[in-house]
Amino acid sequence: MPSSSATAHTGLVYCEDERVGAFVHKLLGKPPPAYPFIAIGAEINGHLVAGAMFWCHFEGQDIYISLAVKKRYLRPEWVKEVLSYAFDDLGVPRISSEVHEDNKRSLTLCRKLGFEVEGVKQVINKRMICFGMTKEIYDGKWR
């Protein structure tokens, strides 16, 4: 947190999927989601500064994540909680993410978090880098 926010109230946001989902999609420059998802947010003084949406295959072997964080607000403890939520609470053995090949900031973030590049796919006129993280990778990096 910036030094001016040293006394700010921070916390995690659960059970506010629509609010967090709208925040994530606004930061990503996309329309609000039209598919089912579960979300976790991080807020400071009641204002969202980060959000993660998990969608698709909740009861299956894989779940996708869309992550959006305002600059300077990415915190390791929040990332750990987000990943723990997927692996421990939702019980999925892996998380996937797709990032546009030109989005250097998101590509760097995925690698820093421990996601591994699994391939590349063409989506309309965009090349997407496909990332994955298994529970074993999470356990080795974050526990």
* Residue pLDDT tens, the chain, 143 long: 344 445 566 789 999 999 999 999 999 988 877 788 999 999 999 999 999 999 875 556 789 999 999 988 888 889 999 999 999 998 899 999 999 999 998 999 999 999 999 999 998 889 999 999 999 999 999 87
- pLDDT, position 124: 87
Terminal Cα-to-Cα distance of the chain (whole angstroms): 23
- pLDDT, position 35: 81
Question: Distances in Å between the alpha carbon of 73 and those of 19, 21, 76?
Answer: 18, 17, 10
Q: Give the CATH number of domain 3-142.
A: 3.40.630.30
Residue type, 92: V
- pLDDT, position 59: 56
